[in-house]
Amino acid sequence: MSKSVAKKIQAIRGMNDLLPSESPRWQFFEGIVRQLMQRYGFAEIRTPIVEQTALFARSIGEVTDIVEKEMYTFEDRNGDSLTLRPEGTASCVRAAMENGLLYNQTQRLWYQGPMFRHERPQKGRYRQFHQVGIEAYGFEGPDIDAEVILLSARLWKELGLMEHVTLELNSLGSSEARAAYRDKLVAYFEQHRDVLDEDAKRRLTSNPLRILDSKNPAMAEMLDGAPRLLDNLDEPSQAHFEQLKAMLDAAGIAYVINPRLVRGLDYYSRTVFEWTTTALGSQGTVCAGGRYDGLVEQLGGKPTPGVGFAMGVERLILLLETLDLIPDEAGSDVYLLAMDDTATVAAITLAEQLRSELPWLRLQLHCGGGSFKSRMKKADKSGAAYALLLGEDEIAEHTVTLKALRDDQAQQRVPQAMLAHTLSERLPNTP
């Protein structure tokens, strides 16, 4: 006989299981999100997790962190280069174009699901993570920018997060204005070459705007003195930005202008924003987005303005947990048990009858036999507020014993015909 023990296979680093103890928190969050999307008139779209590599390279940009070093790219059996999606916007645009959703019409879409980036795993940063995002197509004016931001703001309000997040706002202007600004910026950086770190030197030719985003304290002073994109906006972008700010002011949404906010994806133009928090250490951005008026055309479609955001679900749930903002929820309302095996059939029948009568009831039926004592232990462990007990006597007199598990109300025999009524009265979450 071989003595070797088979080595256990483990999950991929940075990719997490969502355990039964955690999933109620995700469901809580997702439930609020789904409702909110309906309230604002956004429709859900679901796209494949795998796309052609070229889709991301062409949209996010060849010299961004994501495309340069974070994508999960592989060859499939036909030799095609495929990539696990690192974000949702490119896929949404592709799907909208491919299915004619952009033809002479506007769209307001939302999505949710896993994204993949090969980053160094740490708190709030994973290799498989989840985003909820929205995308609006075909709207040119700042009203939809405001609407997108207001939707996110309402989500923070509903979750109790509003006083823990800050809206940072900037405008990147048109691509022409940005190109002119880029030259100015490179000239400025050239003058301060001695303070540039390795990363910045590398980006100087490829993506100089991203240098503005650096968190390196050694460059902070130099970056503070850099020419500001906001002072170099083209006239229409300037007007767009002023109108957006006025709309946010009117809606009572506070923001700070961050002239160094540039975002790590190349497709943005005009409005960019981030919602940040100080409660999560360096992984402080919980939602990020902006306008991408050139992207549809860049991917081969008719010029179509776009605007949207993506938020990191893990970070938001972490934040809600840190601030203790997720309501506790028991797993079940009632645990129904036969006192011994002779009552099993009666218990199954009663459980199904109750589920028909009370569709909102969360009822767990005892399965797996065992002594009376072990059945009661399982009832207690289920988290249910009440146990329903069925034995010989109850069956004979068409009753059931109702026993409170969380407080010391006296236990009581209830006629089975009255049970639905009694439970409706006793349970706090009755609809």
Distance between CA atoms of 146 and 162, rounded to whole angstroms? 17
Nearer to ligand ATP, 42 or 335 (CB): 42
Of 87, 145, 100, the C-alpha closest to 306 is: 145
For residue 113, the minimal CB distance to ligand ATP (Å) is 12
Which span (93-101, 239-247, 284-292, 296-304) binds ligand ATP, by CB under 6 A? Answer: 284-292
For residue 9, the minimal CB distance to ligand ATP (Å) is 23
Nearer to ligand ATP, 287 or 405 (CB): 287
Nearer to ligand ATP, 119 or 340 (CB): 119
Residue 131, annotated as binding a ligand? yes
Site string for ligand ATP, 67-106 (x = CB under 6 A): --------------------x-------------------
Residue 383, annotated as binding a ligand? no
Which span (239-247, 278-286, 329-337, 374-382) binds ligand ATP, by CB under 6 A? Answer: 278-286
Residue 103, annotated as binding a ligand? no
Q: Is 314 in the site for ligand ATP (CB under 6 A)?
A: yes
Q: Is 112 in the site for ligand ATP (CB under 6 A)?
A: no
Between the CA of residue 8 and those of 4, 5, 15, 136, 389, what are the distances in Å?
12, 9, 17, 46, 42
Residues in the chain, overall count: 431
Which span (44-52, 304-312, 359-367, 395-403) binds ligand ATP, by CB under 6 A? Answer: 304-312
Bridge-based pairing of strands 256-257 and 166-171 is: parallel
Q: Is 131 in the site for ligand ATP (CB under 6 A)?
A: yes
For residue 86, the minimal CB distance to ligand ATP (Å) is 8
Distance between CA atoms of 263 and 61, rounded to whole angstroms? 12
Q: Is 242 left (phi over 0), alpha (psi -120 to 50) or beta?
A: alpha
Indicate which single residue of 68, 119, 199, 340 sits in contact with ligand ATP (rule: CB under 6 A): 119
Structure tokens at 281: 């250490």
Which span (232-240, 281-289, 350-358, 369-377) binds ligand ATP, by CB under 6 A? Answer: 281-289
Q: Is 292 in the site for ligand ATP (CB under 6 A)?
A: no
Residue 255, annotated as binding a ligand? no
Indicate which single residue of 25, 34, 118, 125 sits in contact with ligand ATP (rule: CB under 6 A): 125
Q: Is 170 in the site for ligand ATP (CB under 6 A)?
A: no
Its sign, for the CA torsion 53, 55, 56, 58, is positive
For residue 89, the minimal CB distance to ligand ATP (Å) is 9
Indicate which single residue of 24, 264, 301, 370 sits in contact with ligand ATP (rule: CB under 6 A): 264
Binding footprint of ligand ATP on the chain (CB under 6 A): 87, 117, 119, 124-126, 129, 131, 264, 283, 285-286, 288, 310-312, 314-315
